[in-house]
């Protein structure tokens, strides 16, 4: 594929103590595209996603082998605070802070030194617009982030991630806790966002992967319960003419 690469994993393995959870995974996350990680529960796709912003560092006893790169630089050598500013994350369950909508979005910019109230107001408006939430909350910015619906909360979390102007947004099953209408909104939003951001998404919903993603990675556990990358390529190819039998079995719903 002739496509600029934003992030890359090279021979990446991850261990919880002695247990190997990810085995020797290499793949590229292309610039301004949506890359989906699919696979059955427990295949390590979320753990793999969390490797790209080093969230796994927070778990005691985790060690890794191999490398992950952002724009060609080894992320293990970067300052983790800088890395997480560049690689944002949206979680499975909407997790707004118990603060106002405004303060939720302004949280990241404030951390990174924006103090001026009117500068913050500009960032908040821009981010909420980018997350397709502005029209719904423009008059309620002082309202608690917990007082809006689940779908709105998840878009608020997306706005919060956008507000620090990341390069990559990682989404860990961002719609799994939402109803179909809210899910559709998030999917439309992702299509909008990929113009400016590189997105990697974990999903257990194959239709969703097929609908929104440009590239798909299929992960599966081996006989030692370690997650392996089985196949990676353009989404259409993975879903129509997979080269691995296991991918075809999973896509066609024979297991998982």
Partner 1 sequence: MAFSLLWLTGALSVLIMLFVVGYIMIQGLPGINVEFFTTSPRGGLSGDGGIFSTIVTTFYMVVVTLAVATPLGVGAAIYLTEYSENAESIIVRKLVSAARFGVETLAGVPSIIFGLFGYALFVSALNLGFSIASASLAGACLIIPVIIRTTEEALKSVPVSYREGSLSLGATRWETVWKVVLPSAFPGISTGILLSAGRIVSETAIFFVTLGGSYRVPHSLLSGGRTMALHVYYLAMETRAFDKAMSTAAVLVALIVLMNLSINIITSRISARSR
Nearer to partner 1, 8 or 160 (CB): 160
Residue 70 interacts with partner 1 (CB under 8 A): yes or no: no
Indicate the length of the chain as a whole number: 256
- The answer to whether the beta carbons of residues 141 and 102 sit under 8 Å apart is yes
Q: 111-140: b or e for each residue (b if 16 or more CB lie within 10 Å)?
A: eeebeeeeebeebbbbbbebbbbbeebeee
By CB under 8 A, which span of 11-19, 159-167, 224-232, 238-246 interacts with partner 1? 159-167
Q: Is 98 in the site for partner 1 (CB under 8 A)?
A: yes
Look up residue 226 and give its two tokens: 């370690």
Q: What are phi and psi of 63, to 5 degrees?
A: -130, 160
Binding partner 1 (rule: CB under 8 A), the pick from 10, 16, 76, 85 is 85
Least distance from partner 1 to the Cβ atom of residue 256, Å: 26
Q: How far is CA 85 from CA 1, 49, 95, in A?
A: 28, 16, 18
CB of 98 to partner 1, least distance (A): 6
Q: How far apart are CA 227 and CA 51, in angstroms?
A: 13
Q: Which of 92-100, 130-138, 175-183, 198-206 is the region at the interface with partner 1 (rule: CB under 8 A)?
A: 92-100
Q: Which is nearer to partner 1, 96 or 242 (CB)?
A: 96
Taking the complex as a whole, the smallest distance from the CB of residue 16 to partner 1 amounts, in Å, to 14
List residues binding partner 1 (CB under 8 A). Answer: 53, 55, 58, 60, 81-85, 88-89, 91, 93, 95-99, 107-108, 111-112, 157, 160-161, 164
């Amino acid at each position: 594929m002739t496509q600029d690469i934003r992030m890359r994993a090279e021979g990446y393995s991850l261990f919880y103590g002695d247990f190997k959870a990810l085995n020797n995974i290499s793949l590229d996350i292309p610039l301004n595209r949506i890359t989906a990680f699919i696979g059955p529960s427990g295949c390590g796709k979320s753990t793999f996603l969390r490797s790209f912003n080093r969230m796994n560092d927070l778990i005691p006893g985790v060690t890794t082998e191999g490398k992950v790169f952002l724009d060609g630089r080894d992320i293990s050598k970067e300052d983790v605070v800088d890395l997480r500013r560049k690689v944002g994350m949206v979680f499975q369950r909407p997790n707004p802070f118990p603060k106002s909508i405004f303060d939720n979005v302004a949280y990241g910019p404030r951390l990174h030194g924006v103090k001026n109230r009117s500068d913050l107001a500009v960032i908040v408006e821009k981010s909420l617009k980018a997350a397709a939430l502005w029209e719904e909350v423009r008059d309620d910015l002082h309202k608690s982030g917990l007082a809006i619906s689940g779908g709105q909360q998840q878009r608020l979390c997306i706005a919060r991630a956008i507000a620090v102007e990341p390069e990559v947004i990682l989404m860990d099953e961002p719609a799994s806790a939402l109803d179909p209408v809210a899910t559709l909104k998030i999917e439309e939003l992702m299509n909008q966002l990929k113009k400016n951001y590189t997105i990697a998404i974990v999903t257990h919903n194959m239709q969703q992967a097929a609908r929104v993603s440009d590239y798909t990675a299929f992960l599966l556990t081996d006989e030692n319960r370690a997650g392996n990358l089985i196949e990676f390529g353009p989404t259409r190819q993975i879903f129509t003419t997979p080269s691995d039998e296991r991918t075809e079995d999973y896509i066609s719903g024979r297991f998982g």
